[in-house]
Amino acid sequence: MRANCSSSSACPANTSEEELPVGLEVHGNLELVFTVVSTVMMGLLMFSLGCSVEFRKLWSHIRRPWGIAVGLLCQFGLMPFTAYLLAISFSLKPVQAIAVLIMGCCPGGTISNIFTFWVDGDMDLSISMTTCSTVAALGMMPLCIYLYTWSWSLQQNLTIPYQNIGITLGCLTVPVAFGVYVNYRWPKQSKIILKIGAVVGGLLLLVVTVAGVVLAKGSWNSDITLLTISFIFPLIGHITGFLLALFTHQSWQRCRTISLETGAQNIQMCITMLQLSFTAEHLVKMLSFPLAYGLFQLIHGFLIVAAYQTYKRRLKNKHGKKNSDCIEVGHTRKSTSSKETSAFLEVNEEGAVTPGPLEPVDCHRALESIDHITSCE
Protein backbone atom coordinates (compact mmCIF):
# COMPACT_ATOMS: atom_id res chain seq x y z
CA MET A 1 0.00 0.00 0.00
CA ARG A 2 1.23 3.49 -0.81
CA ALA A 3 0.49 6.26 1.66
CA ASN A 4 -0.16 9.39 -0.36
CA CYS A 5 -0.15 12.38 1.99
CA SER A 6 -1.49 14.87 -0.49
CA SER A 7 -5.08 15.98 -0.74
CA SER A 8 -5.23 15.43 -4.46
CA SER A 9 -8.52 14.70 -6.14
CA ALA A 10 -6.98 11.62 -7.71
CA CYS A 11 -8.20 9.57 -4.79
CA PRO A 12 -11.47 7.84 -5.65
CA ALA A 13 -13.21 9.12 -2.54
CA ASN A 14 -12.37 12.73 -3.41
CA THR A 15 -14.53 12.66 -6.51
CA SER A 16 -18.24 13.32 -6.37
CA GLU A 17 -19.21 11.09 -9.28
CA GLU A 18 -20.19 8.13 -7.08
CA GLU A 19 -23.35 8.31 -5.02
CA LEU A 20 -23.15 7.32 -1.39
CA PRO A 21 -25.31 4.40 -0.25
CA VAL A 22 -28.29 4.99 1.96
CA GLY A 23 -26.38 4.28 5.17
CA LEU A 24 -23.74 6.91 4.40
CA GLU A 25 -25.89 9.71 3.08
CA VAL A 26 -25.44 13.10 4.66
CA HIS A 27 -28.41 13.94 6.82
CA GLY A 28 -28.46 17.58 5.70
CA ASN A 29 -28.95 20.29 8.26
CA LEU A 30 -29.28 17.82 11.15
CA GLU A 31 -25.72 16.55 10.75
CA LEU A 32 -24.41 20.10 10.24
CA VAL A 33 -26.11 21.30 13.42
CA PHE A 34 -24.80 18.29 15.34
CA THR A 35 -21.23 18.93 14.14
CA VAL A 36 -21.32 22.63 15.02
CA VAL A 37 -22.93 22.12 18.41
CA SER A 38 -20.57 19.29 19.39
CA THR A 39 -17.55 21.36 18.32
CA VAL A 40 -18.67 24.37 20.36
CA MET A 41 -19.48 22.21 23.39
CA MET A 42 -16.11 20.46 23.13
CA GLY A 43 -14.39 23.85 23.03
CA LEU A 44 -16.24 24.96 26.17
CA LEU A 45 -15.40 21.65 27.83
CA MET A 46 -11.69 22.03 27.06
CA PHE A 47 -11.88 25.58 28.43
CA SER A 48 -13.28 24.27 31.73
CA LEU A 49 -10.65 21.51 31.89
CA GLY A 50 -7.99 24.12 31.16
CA CYS A 51 -9.03 25.83 34.39
CA SER A 52 -7.41 22.91 36.25
CA VAL A 53 -4.04 23.44 34.56
CA GLU A 54 -1.33 25.42 36.29
CA PHE A 55 1.21 27.11 34.03
CA ARG A 56 4.08 26.24 36.36
CA LYS A 57 3.33 22.50 36.24
CA LEU A 58 2.67 22.66 32.51
CA TRP A 59 6.02 24.30 31.95
CA SER A 60 7.74 21.67 34.10
CA HIS A 61 6.33 18.93 31.82
CA ILE A 62 7.68 20.78 28.79
CA ARG A 63 11.11 21.33 30.35
CA ARG A 64 11.38 17.71 31.49
CA PRO A 65 9.14 15.82 29.07
CA TRP A 66 9.65 12.33 30.45
CA GLY A 67 5.94 11.70 30.87
CA ILE A 68 5.20 13.18 27.43
CA ALA A 69 7.92 11.01 25.87
CA VAL A 70 6.45 7.86 27.42
CA GLY A 71 3.00 8.87 26.19
CA LEU A 72 4.23 9.48 22.63
CA LEU A 73 6.00 6.12 22.66
CA CYS A 74 2.71 4.47 23.63
CA GLN A 75 0.74 6.49 21.09
CA PHE A 76 2.90 6.00 18.00
CA GLY A 77 4.83 2.91 19.06
CA LEU A 78 2.54 0.53 20.92
CA MET A 79 -0.79 1.41 19.29
CA PRO A 80 0.25 1.05 15.60
CA PHE A 81 2.15 -2.14 16.42
CA THR A 82 -0.87 -3.54 18.28
CA ALA A 83 -3.14 -2.65 15.35
CA TYR A 84 -0.80 -4.43 12.95
CA LEU A 85 -0.70 -7.55 15.12
CA LEU A 86 -4.49 -7.60 15.45
CA ALA A 87 -4.96 -7.24 11.70
CA ILE A 88 -2.56 -10.14 11.06
CA SER A 89 -3.84 -12.36 13.87
CA PHE A 90 -7.51 -12.10 12.84
CA SER A 91 -6.70 -12.43 9.09
CA LEU A 92 -8.73 -9.36 8.23
CA LYS A 93 -9.66 -8.34 4.72
CA PRO A 94 -7.37 -5.68 3.25
CA VAL A 95 -9.79 -2.76 3.63
CA GLN A 96 -10.68 -3.79 7.17
CA ALA A 97 -7.00 -4.18 8.11
CA ILE A 98 -6.35 -0.64 6.87
CA ALA A 99 -9.19 0.70 9.02
CA VAL A 100 -7.70 -0.96 12.12
CA LEU A 101 -4.21 0.31 11.29
CA ILE A 102 -5.39 3.89 10.70
CA MET A 103 -7.13 3.85 14.06
CA GLY A 104 -3.91 2.72 15.72
CA CYS A 105 -1.94 5.52 14.04
CA CYS A 106 -4.31 8.33 15.07
CA PRO A 107 -3.36 10.70 17.92
CA GLY A 108 -5.04 10.73 21.30
CA GLY A 109 -8.58 12.06 21.60
CA THR A 110 -9.88 14.77 23.91
CA ILE A 111 -12.12 12.22 25.62
CA SER A 112 -9.05 11.08 27.56
CA ASN A 113 -8.83 14.50 29.22
CA ILE A 114 -12.32 14.08 30.67
CA PHE A 115 -11.64 10.60 32.01
CA THR A 116 -8.28 11.74 33.41
CA PHE A 117 -10.03 14.43 35.43
CA TRP A 118 -12.51 11.90 36.84
CA VAL A 119 -9.74 9.54 38.01
CA ASP A 120 -7.70 12.35 39.64
CA GLY A 121 -4.98 12.05 37.02
CA ASP A 122 -2.34 14.56 36.02
CA MET A 123 -4.34 17.07 33.97
CA ASP A 124 -1.23 19.02 32.98
CA LEU A 125 0.32 15.85 31.55
CA SER A 126 -2.94 14.75 29.92
CA ILE A 127 -3.46 17.98 27.99
CA SER A 128 0.25 18.14 27.13
CA MET A 129 0.14 14.60 25.74
CA THR A 130 -3.00 15.24 23.69
CA THR A 131 -1.52 18.42 22.21
CA CYS A 132 1.88 16.91 21.49
CA SER A 133 0.42 13.75 19.94
CA THR A 134 -1.82 15.86 17.67
CA VAL A 135 1.18 17.91 16.51
CA ALA A 136 3.31 14.77 16.09
CA ALA A 137 0.53 13.17 14.02
CA LEU A 138 1.43 15.54 11.16
CA GLY A 139 4.52 13.44 10.58
CA MET A 140 4.02 10.24 12.54
CA MET A 141 0.71 9.21 10.94
CA PRO A 142 2.08 8.98 7.38
CA LEU A 143 5.33 7.45 8.66
CA CYS A 144 3.61 4.71 10.68
CA ILE A 145 1.16 3.93 7.88
CA TYR A 146 4.00 3.66 5.38
CA LEU A 147 6.13 1.43 7.63
CA TYR A 148 3.32 -1.02 8.34
CA THR A 149 1.81 -1.16 4.84
CA TRP A 150 4.83 -1.20 2.53
CA SER A 151 4.78 -5.02 2.42
CA TRP A 152 1.05 -5.21 1.69
CA SER A 153 -0.06 -5.76 -1.89
CA LEU A 154 -2.65 -2.98 -1.92
CA GLN A 155 -2.62 -0.06 -4.32
CA GLN A 156 -4.87 2.42 -2.57
CA ASN A 157 -3.89 6.02 -1.98
CA LEU A 158 -4.37 7.34 1.54
CA THR A 159 -5.08 10.98 2.27
CA ILE A 160 -3.81 12.32 5.60
CA PRO A 161 -6.45 14.77 6.94
CA TYR A 162 -4.12 17.68 7.66
CA GLN A 163 -7.04 20.12 7.78
CA ASN A 164 -8.77 17.99 10.40
CA ILE A 165 -5.55 17.78 12.42
CA GLY A 166 -5.23 21.58 12.33
CA ILE A 167 -8.84 22.09 13.41
CA THR A 168 -8.40 19.59 16.27
CA LEU A 169 -5.24 21.33 17.38
CA GLY A 170 -6.94 24.74 17.34
CA CYS A 171 -10.02 23.49 19.22
CA LEU A 172 -7.70 22.00 21.83
CA THR A 173 -5.04 24.65 22.43
CA VAL A 174 -7.08 27.88 22.24
CA PRO A 175 -9.75 26.98 24.86
CA VAL A 176 -7.13 25.40 27.13
CA ALA A 177 -4.97 28.54 26.92
CA PHE A 178 -7.95 30.67 28.02
CA GLY A 179 -8.63 28.21 30.85
CA VAL A 180 -5.03 28.42 32.05
CA TYR A 181 -5.26 32.23 32.05
CA VAL A 182 -8.53 32.17 34.02
CA ASN A 183 -7.00 29.78 36.55
CA TYR A 184 -4.03 32.13 36.92
CA ARG A 185 -6.09 35.30 37.37
CA TRP A 186 -9.20 34.01 39.17
CA PRO A 187 -8.36 30.69 40.92
CA LYS A 188 -11.56 30.56 42.99
CA GLN A 189 -13.84 31.10 40.00
CA SER A 190 -11.87 28.55 37.97
CA LYS A 191 -12.73 25.80 40.47
CA ILE A 192 -16.45 26.49 39.99
CA ILE A 193 -16.04 26.43 36.20
CA LEU A 194 -14.14 23.15 36.48
CA LYS A 195 -16.91 21.44 38.48
CA ILE A 196 -19.56 22.58 36.03
CA GLY A 197 -17.42 21.46 33.09
CA ALA A 198 -16.97 17.98 34.55
CA VAL A 199 -20.74 17.46 34.73
CA VAL A 200 -21.32 18.95 31.29
CA GLY A 201 -18.54 16.75 29.92
CA GLY A 202 -20.28 13.59 31.05
CA LEU A 203 -23.57 14.69 29.49
CA LEU A 204 -21.77 15.69 26.29
CA LEU A 205 -20.21 12.25 25.97
CA LEU A 206 -23.60 10.59 26.22
CA VAL A 207 -25.21 12.99 23.73
CA VAL A 208 -22.40 12.67 21.19
CA THR A 209 -22.44 8.88 21.48
CA VAL A 210 -26.19 8.54 20.99
CA ALA A 211 -26.33 11.12 18.20
CA GLY A 212 -23.34 9.60 16.40
CA VAL A 213 -24.87 6.13 16.48
CA VAL A 214 -28.22 7.45 15.21
CA LEU A 215 -26.72 9.54 12.40
CA ALA A 216 -24.51 6.69 11.21
CA LYS A 217 -26.93 3.85 11.84
CA GLY A 218 -26.77 2.76 8.20
CA SER A 219 -23.04 2.15 8.32
CA TRP A 220 -23.21 -0.53 11.02
CA ASN A 221 -22.81 -4.15 9.99
CA SER A 222 -22.72 -7.42 11.88
CA ASP A 223 -19.04 -8.31 11.38
CA ILE A 224 -18.21 -10.13 14.62
CA THR A 225 -14.48 -10.01 13.95
CA LEU A 226 -14.37 -6.21 13.73
CA LEU A 227 -16.57 -5.89 16.80
CA THR A 228 -14.24 -8.19 18.72
CA ILE A 229 -11.18 -6.17 17.70
CA SER A 230 -12.90 -2.88 18.53
CA PHE A 231 -13.63 -4.28 22.01
CA ILE A 232 -10.15 -5.56 22.87
CA PHE A 233 -8.08 -2.86 21.09
CA PRO A 234 -8.79 -0.05 23.61
CA LEU A 235 -8.28 -2.47 26.51
CA ILE A 236 -4.86 -3.46 25.18
CA GLY A 237 -4.00 0.22 24.84
CA HIS A 238 -5.00 0.98 28.43
CA ILE A 239 -3.13 -2.01 29.87
CA THR A 240 0.08 -1.65 27.85
CA GLY A 241 0.16 2.11 28.46
CA PHE A 242 -0.16 1.59 32.20
CA LEU A 243 2.51 -1.11 32.25
CA LEU A 244 4.98 0.93 30.21
CA ALA A 245 4.44 3.95 32.46
CA LEU A 246 4.93 1.72 35.52
CA PHE A 247 8.07 0.19 33.99
CA THR A 248 9.56 3.68 33.44
CA HIS A 249 8.98 4.50 37.15
CA GLN A 250 6.21 7.06 36.63
CA SER A 251 3.99 8.00 39.57
CA TRP A 252 0.63 6.29 40.05
CA GLN A 253 -1.12 9.48 38.99
CA ARG A 254 0.89 9.61 35.76
CA CYS A 255 0.36 5.89 35.16
CA ARG A 256 -3.41 6.40 35.20
CA THR A 257 -3.06 9.39 32.88
CA ILE A 258 -0.82 7.65 30.33
CA SER A 259 -3.07 4.58 30.38
CA LEU A 260 -6.17 6.59 29.48
CA GLU A 261 -4.30 8.65 26.88
CA THR A 262 -3.03 5.51 25.16
CA GLY A 263 -6.34 3.70 24.81
CA ALA A 264 -8.43 6.75 23.80
CA GLN A 265 -7.98 7.57 20.10
CA ASN A 266 -9.25 10.44 17.93
CA ILE A 267 -12.25 8.73 16.31
CA GLN A 268 -13.26 11.72 14.17
CA MET A 269 -9.83 11.89 12.57
CA CYS A 270 -9.95 8.21 11.65
CA ILE A 271 -13.41 8.56 10.09
CA THR A 272 -12.34 11.65 8.13
CA MET A 273 -9.28 9.88 6.74
CA LEU A 274 -11.36 6.88 5.67
CA GLN A 275 -13.91 9.10 3.94
CA LEU A 276 -11.17 10.99 2.07
CA SER A 277 -9.31 7.88 0.99
CA PHE A 278 -11.85 5.21 0.07
CA THR A 279 -14.88 4.76 -2.13
CA ALA A 280 -18.39 4.40 -0.79
CA GLU A 281 -18.31 0.68 -1.51
CA HIS A 282 -15.31 0.24 0.76
CA LEU A 283 -16.66 2.58 3.43
CA VAL A 284 -19.61 0.29 4.05
CA LYS A 285 -17.15 -2.40 5.19
CA MET A 286 -14.88 -0.05 7.15
CA LEU A 287 -16.87 2.59 9.02
CA SER A 288 -18.33 0.15 11.52
CA PHE A 289 -14.92 -0.30 13.12
CA PRO A 290 -14.20 3.32 14.23
CA LEU A 291 -17.81 3.69 15.38
CA ALA A 292 -17.61 0.51 17.46
CA TYR A 293 -14.16 1.52 18.76
CA GLY A 294 -15.55 4.87 19.90
CA LEU A 295 -18.45 3.18 21.65
CA PHE A 296 -16.27 0.63 23.44
CA GLN A 297 -13.66 3.17 24.49
CA LEU A 298 -16.45 5.13 26.15
CA ILE A 299 -17.66 2.01 27.93
CA HIS A 300 -14.13 1.10 29.04
CA GLY A 301 -13.54 4.66 30.22
CA PHE A 302 -16.70 4.75 32.30
CA LEU A 303 -15.84 1.37 33.83
CA ILE A 304 -12.35 2.57 34.76
CA VAL A 305 -13.80 5.72 36.32
CA ALA A 306 -16.42 3.71 38.23
CA ALA A 307 -13.77 1.28 39.53
CA TYR A 308 -11.50 4.11 40.64
CA GLN A 309 -14.28 6.07 42.35
CA THR A 310 -15.44 2.92 44.16
CA TYR A 311 -11.89 2.24 45.37
CA LYS A 312 -11.52 5.88 46.41
CA ARG A 313 -14.80 5.83 48.34
CA ARG A 314 -13.90 2.62 50.18
CA LEU A 315 -10.49 3.99 51.05
CA LYS A 316 -12.09 7.18 52.35
CA ASN A 317 -14.59 5.23 54.46
CA LYS A 318 -11.77 3.08 55.85
CA HIS A 319 -9.79 6.15 56.90
CA GLY A 320 -12.94 7.75 58.31
CA LYS A 321 -13.61 4.66 60.43
CA LYS A 322 -10.04 4.71 61.74
CA ASN A 323 -10.35 8.39 62.64
CA SER A 324 -13.65 7.79 64.48
CA ASP A 325 -12.07 4.90 66.42
CA CYS A 326 -9.16 7.16 67.39
CA ILE A 327 -11.55 9.87 68.56
CA GLU A 328 -13.57 7.33 70.58
CA VAL A 329 -10.40 5.99 72.22
CA GLY A 330 -9.35 9.56 72.98
CA HIS A 331 -12.67 10.29 74.69
CA THR A 332 -12.36 7.08 76.72
CA ARG A 333 -8.88 7.96 77.86
CA LYS A 334 -10.00 11.47 78.71
CA SER A 335 -12.91 10.26 80.88
CA THR A 336 -10.63 7.76 82.64
CA SER A 337 -8.09 10.49 83.31
CA SER A 338 -10.82 12.76 84.65
CA LYS A 339 -11.91 10.07 87.13
CA GLU A 340 -8.31 9.55 88.24
CA THR A 341 -7.85 13.29 88.66
CA SER A 342 -11.05 13.57 90.72
CA ALA A 343 -9.93 10.72 92.97
CA PHE A 344 -6.57 12.35 93.37
CA LEU A 345 -8.15 15.68 94.34
CA GLU A 346 -10.38 13.96 96.90
CA VAL A 347 -7.35 12.33 98.48
CA ASN A 348 -5.62 15.70 98.64
CA GLU A 349 -8.65 17.31 100.29
CA GLU A 350 -8.68 14.60 102.97
CA GLY A 351 -4.97 15.02 103.48
CA ALA A 352 -5.36 18.78 103.82
CA VAL A 353 -7.05 18.35 107.25
CA THR A 354 -3.73 17.52 108.83
CA PRO A 355 -1.31 20.02 107.47
CA GLY A 356 2.21 18.93 106.86
CA PRO A 357 4.87 18.78 104.21
CA LEU A 358 3.88 17.02 100.98
CA GLU A 359 5.87 13.88 100.43
CA PRO A 360 7.99 13.58 97.27
CA VAL A 361 6.06 10.52 96.21
CA ASP A 362 2.77 12.47 96.22
CA CYS A 363 4.29 15.24 94.10
CA HIS A 364 5.51 12.69 91.63
CA ARG A 365 2.04 11.10 91.34
CA ALA A 366 0.43 14.51 90.87
CA LEU A 367 2.79 15.34 88.02
CA GLU A 368 2.10 11.96 86.41
CA SER A 369 -1.67 12.58 86.51
CA ILE A 370 -1.31 16.06 85.01
CA ASP A 371 1.01 14.76 82.28
CA HIS A 372 -1.46 11.98 81.55
CA ILE A 373 -4.25 14.53 81.05
CA THR A 374 -2.27 16.81 78.75
CA SER A 375 -0.93 13.95 76.61
CA CYS A 376 -4.37 12.38 75.99
CA GLU A 377 -5.22 12.09 72.33
Each residue's pLDDT, cut to its tens digit, for the chain (377 residues) gives: 444 443 333 343 333 334 444 444 444 455 556 566 667 777 778 888 888 888 888 788 888 889 899 999 999 999 999 999 999 999 888 888 999 999 999 998 888 888 998 999 998 899 889 989 999 999 999 999 989 988 776 666 778 888 888 888 888 888 888 888 888 888 888 888 888 887 777 777 777 767 666 665 655 566 788 889 999 999 999 999 999 999 999 999 999 999 999 999 988 888 888 888 888 778 877 888 888 898 889 889 999 999 999 999 998 888 877 766 666 555 555 555 555 445 444 444 444 444 444 444 444 444 444 444 444 44
CATH 1.20.1530.20 fits domain 35-186+224-298: yes
Amino acid in the structure at residue 274 = L
pTM here is 0.73
Q: By the 8 A CB rule, do 159 and 274 touch?
A: no
Half-sphere exposure of residue 92: CA atoms within 13 angstroms, side-chain side: 27
For 46-79, the three-class secondary structure string (H helix, E strand, C coil) is: HHHHHCCCCHHHHHHHHHCCHHHHHHHHHHHHHH
Q: Of 202, 223, 207, nearest to 293 (Cα)?
A: 223
